[in-house]
A and B are shown apart, each in its own frame.
Chain A
C-alpha cells in the first residue's frame, strides 16, 4: 500500500482553545453520573448520624463541647474516610479490572487525565456529601441554640481529609486492580485512623499534633466564644492532607502508560510538591506551642487571632453581687448566680469582698489540661474572675447541679481567702472550710468535694490523694470547726481585722479564734 502523491495532504484543523476543558468537563460529567460513591452515601449517612451526631447531643449546647467528639477527635473523618477510600479504590481499579486498560490507554486523552477525571468525580461526591452532612448537623445545632462559633477551620480539615482518603484509595485501586483493593483501602483507612488515635490521644506536643484525631490543645475551654478558634493547626493539617492527596495523584502520572514524557515530568513535579507540602506541615507541627488560646504555630500564626471576641455580657445577681457572663453561657447564668449567692451573702460587707463577678476566658494550660482552673480575685475594687470554660457545667459529662454549685462555692471561697493557685496555708484552708460550712457545704463532705473531678490540682492536695478523699480530720479541720462555731458577727469581726494578714499568709493556725 502506498500513498498517492497527487493527493493533497489534509491539514489537521487547529484545535479550538476551549475544546480540552470542554472535553474534560464532559468526561467529568459522565464520571459523576457513573460513579459508585452515591451507592455508599446512605450507609455513611447512617453511620454519621450514629457516630458523629448522636453522641454529641448529650453534651452542653456549646460548639466547642458539642464538636469535641465529632470534629476534635476526628469522628466525622472516621465515618467518611475509610468508606471513601474503599469506593475510590474500586473506581481506581475499574478500567483494569474490566480488562479495558489497554483500550482506554489508546484513547486521545492521556491516561492520567482520564484517571484524574474519575478521581475528581469520586472526590466531588464524597466532599459534597461531607459538607452537606456537616452542614445539616450544624443546622440542627443552630436549631438547638448551640452557642459559640462553629469550628469552620476544622470542617475544612475534614473536607481535605476526605479528599486525601479518596486520592489514596484511588491510587491503591489504580496501582493494584484487584477486587481486594477496595477492602484493603478501607481497612488501611481504618487502621490509619486507629493508629492516629493511638498516638494522638496521648501526644500533646510535637509532630503528633498533625494527626487528624488529635484533639489536644485545640478543642478545649472557650474557643469560638471568648476568643477565636486558632487556625494555625488546621492550616498545617490541611497542608499535610492536601499534600498527601496531591502526591498520591501525582504518582498515578508516573505509572507506565500514564502519558507522554512531558506529562510524566509534570506528574513528577506534582508528586514532589505534594511531598514537600506534607513534609512542611509536619515540620510546622514540630514548632507548635500551646498558647493561652490553643496551639500556635509561629510560621502560620496571625496575631489578630489572639484578640478576644468582644461581646455584651448577660448579667444577674447573686445575693446582690452582680454576676456577668458571656452570652454563650446565658443558659448557665441562673445556676451560677444560685451557686455563688450563699458565698456572696457570707462575705458581703467584708473588706476585700468582690463587688462584681465576671467570666474570663479559660486558657489552654498544659499543666492543668483543659479543666481545673481556679477563680481569682483582683482589681480595686476587687472583682471575682471566673474561668467557667474550664470548670464543671451542670449537665455536662455527668455533673449534677449540686456538684457544680459546691465546686463554684469552693473556688469562690478559695479565692477570697487569698490562697491563689495553690492549696494555701493551714489557716487559709481552715477559714476556707469554715466559710464553706457556713454556705451549706458541711465540713464532713468537703474532702469529697475537694477530690471531685474538674478542680485544679491543689484541690486534690487538700482533699487527699487518690483513690478516695481523706476524712475531715486533723488540726486544719479542727480549727475550721472551731471557727465555724463562732457567731457570724464574731467571724466577720475577726475577718475584717485579719483578712489582709490571712491573705498574705501571715496568720498561723493557732492564731485563729
Chain B
C-alpha cells in the first residue's frame, strides 16, 4: 500500500492546523515555551522565597556575628532564587525543538530575563519585612550575578546540576565573608554602590544570558 495519489486529509481525521493571528501565535509560542520550562512553577517558588525573605527579616533570622554574618540568610534566599531560575532553563525536547524553533534563542533569553526580573520583584517585596543589608541595589546586583552563575552552570553542567553553581558560590562567599574581601568577584561582600562589584555581577549575568541564549542548557542522558 502506498500513499500515492492521496492529496487531502480524509474526512474524520485530524483537522487542519488552526491559523492564529501573528500576535496571538507569538504569545502562544511564549506560553508553550514557558510551560515546557516549568516557568509557572518557578514563579511560584520565587514567590515563596519572597515570603521566606519577608519572614526572615521580620523575625530577625540572623547568624550570630557582625554585619557580614547578618546578610547571610538573605543571601541564601537570593541564591535559592538563582538556583530555581537556572534549573528552569532546562528544556525537555532537545534536538526536535532546536531543529524547528527559530525563535528558541529569543525565548530562552526572554525566559531567563523575565524570571530574573520576577525574582528581583519577589525578593524586593519580601525585603519590606525588615532591613535588608545593602538594600535593593545590593539585592539586584546579587540576584543578577548569582543567576548569571546559574545560567552558566546550566550551559556547562546541564539541567541536572545547574543549581550547583549558585550553591557553590554561596559557600565561597560565606568563607570570604569571614574576612574582609576586596575582590569585586565576591560581590555580595562588597558595599552596594561598589562599581567593580556591580560590573562583575552584571558581566556574569550578561555572560550567562548570552550563552544560554546561543547554546542553551547542556543536554545529558542522565537528565
Contact = CB atoms under 8 A, between A and B. Distances in A.
28 contacts: A39-B160, A39-B161, A40-B161, A43-B164, A46-B168, A47-B168, A47-B171, A50-B172, A78-B171, A79-B171, A87-B161, A178-B38, A178-B41, A179-B88, A180-B38, A180-B84, A183-B80, A183-B86, A184-B84, A187-B83, A191-B76, A191-B77, A191-B80, A194-B61, A194-B72, A194-B73, A198-B61, A198-B63
- Please give me the 3 A-B residue pairs with the lowest Cβ-Cβ distance, nearest first: A183-B163, A201-B64, A187-B80
Interface in A47-84: 47, 50-51, 55, 78-79, 82-83
Contacts of B76: 187, 190-191, 194
Interface in B153-205: 159-164, 167-168, 170-172, 174-175, 178
Interface in B115-172: 159-164, 167-168, 170-172
A120 interface: no
A186 interface: yes
Interface string A408-434: 000000000000000000000000000
Interface residues of A, number: 32
Given A55-B175, A182-B87, A83 B73 contact: no
A30 interface: no
B65 interface: yes
Interface string B45-87: 1000000000000000111110000001100110110011011
Given A50-B172, A183-B80, A183-B83, A40 B164 contact: yes
Contacts of A190: 76, 79-80, 167, 170
Interface residues of B, number: 36
A287 B71 CA distance: 33
B222 interface: yes
A199 B190 CA distance: 26
B64 A202 contact: yes
Interface of A: 36, 39-40, 43, 46-47, 50-51, 55, 78-79, 82-83, 86-87, 90, 178-180, 182-184, 186-187, 190-191, 194-195, 197-198, 201-202
A51 B174 contact: yes
Given A51-B174, A187-B83, A194-B76, A82 B38 contact: no
Contacts of A180: 38, 41-42, 45, 84, 87-88
Residues of B contacting A: mostly: helix
A46 B65 CA distance: 26
A86 B164 CA distance: 8
A79 B164 CA distance: 12
B45 A179 contact: no
A46 B63 CA distance: 25
The binding surface of chain A is classed by DSSP as helix
Contact of B64 (A51, A79, A197): A197
A82 B162 CA distance: 14
A96 to B, nearest CB: 14
A190 B80 CA distance: 9
A86 B163 CA distance: 9
B63 A194 contact: yes
Most buried by A among B88, B164, B178: B164
A186 B161 contact: no
B65 A201 contact: yes
B4 to A, nearest CB: 38
Contacts of B41: 178, 180
Contact of B87 (A50, A183, A195): A183
A459 B64 CA distance: 26
B88 to A, nearest CB: 8
A235 to B, nearest CB: 26
B121 to A, nearest CB: 19
A381 to B, nearest CB: 46
A125 to B, nearest CB: 14
Contacts of A187: 76, 79-80, 83, 163, 167
Nearest to A94: B222
A382 B174 CA distance: 49
Nearest to A69: B178
Contacts of A195: 61, 73
A179 B42 CA distance: 10
A187 B77 CA distance: 8
Given A194-B72, A201-B64, A202-B64, A182 B175 contact: no
Contacts of B73: 191, 194-195, 198
A195 B88 CA distance: 27
A180 B41 CA distance: 9
